[in-house]
Amino acid sequence: MASRRASFDRIRITKVGFWYVLFALVVGLAATNTGNNALYLVEALMLALLAISGFISRRNLAALRVEVAVPEEVYAKQPFSLAVELRSLDRWFVKRLLVVDAGAEGDRRLVPRLGRRGAEELRLGLRFERRGRQRLEAVRVSSVFPLGLIFKSKRHSVDLDVLVLPEIVASAAGRPMAVGRAGEQASRQAGWGHELLTLRELRPGDDPRGIHWKQSARTGRMVYMEREAERDKRLSIVFDNAVGELVGAAAEARFERLVTEAASAAAHHLECGYEVELVTRQGVLPFGRGKAHRLRILEALALIGPCPRQASPLIGRERALEFRPAAGRVAS
């Protein structure tokens, strides 16, 4: 995403600049009071330097194009790297000592030198505290170059909407129980069931726990024992968000903690081969597994919010019968 417009948002005089201006004023007063033209010479040079410093610092931040790229998955309270490409469109001036940042909570990165029409890629560490849609409004490029008299900062507006997924925590509540690994019905798909599906050669990325050591010793090659997945290793996450208006910080924090737990449970179980379903007042995400399904669940949880209290239960009687506590866990 490229910056659309840029504007100066902060111009302030530095400590060195303050002394410089003070000296210039003193020399100016002395020159005016005495009529000494040698002092006028000094004053003229000081003012000329100040003007040129202002011009150069302006040019130093001008004709810059900022492009940012956000990672696919951004989690609340977890740092991520914002890829920033800083490109100079200037054909005449070399940019020096540019400092790039994306907000108060993020990293600041230095670009010591950016050649004419050159580009520099850098990664800014950033962190969002809240889940949901967050706005990355601008990337700021600032500099005190050339003489350190004036600090100028230019705001490159990017206006980027970032969907921040809920925080994933490693709490015990979110981890799959040992019993959860026991399935009841072979699914004829690879998984972590009890039935042997096939024996094959070990591939990179395979779990070392699946190595069939006897066969490996016998054949002289690493043999991997693939088991069948069990279909009913399922987790249904029922998140009843009909809690009415959240009053007070404590209620909000509790709601957020539940979202975090639900997201963590979904993420951990999906990682362990479970099929996971998400049921909320907004709708149902049916059972599924894989990266895309994980993302769908996390996105749904990222956007979930409280809705008005309702008398009817979230899960209907017939639907509730489908859930057997032994087959999975119900989080609510």
Least distance (Å) from other proteins to the CB of residue 85? 10
| Contact predicate 207/227, CB 8 Å | no
| Contact predicate 136/146, CB 8 Å | no
Distance CA 131, CA 78 (A): 11
- 39 touching other proteins, by CB under 8 A: yes
Distance CA 81, CA 124 (A): 5
Per-residue binding string, other proteins, 113-152, x by CB under 8 A, is: x------------------------------xxxxxx---
| 291-307 core/surface letters (b: 16 or more CB in 10 A; e: else) | eebbbebbebbbebeee
Question: 95 or 212: whose CB is closer to other proteins?
Answer: 95
Question: 38 or 172: whose CB is closer to other proteins?
Answer: 38
Question: 39 or 303: whose CB is closer to other proteins?
Answer: 39
Least distance (Å) from other proteins to the CB of residue 150? 11
Question: 16 or 173: whose CB is closer to other proteins?
Answer: 16
Question: 49 or 163: whose CB is closer to other proteins?
Answer: 49
| Contact predicate 184/85, CB 8 Å | no
In the DSSP assignment, the letter for residue 211 is B
Distance CA 88, CA 239 (A): 49
- 303 touching other proteins, by CB under 8 A: no
Residues 45-104 that bind other proteins (CB under 8 A): 45, 47-49, 51-52, 56, 67, 89, 94, 96-97, 99
Choices 23-31, 216-224, 284-292, 293-301 (CB under 8 A): range interacting with other proteins: 23-31
Least distance (Å) from other proteins to the CB of residue 127? 20
Q: For residue 188, with 0-12 CB atoms within 10 Å meaning exposed, 13-18 middle and 19 or more buried, which class applies?
A: exposed
Residues 271-290 that bind other proteins (CB under 8 A): none
Choices 109-117, 211-219, 239-247, 278-286 (CB under 8 A): range interacting with other proteins: 109-117
Distance CA 60, CA 131 (A): 37
Choices 43-51, 186-194, 252-260, 263-271 (CB under 8 A): range interacting with other proteins: 43-51
Distance CA 323, CA 46 (A): 81
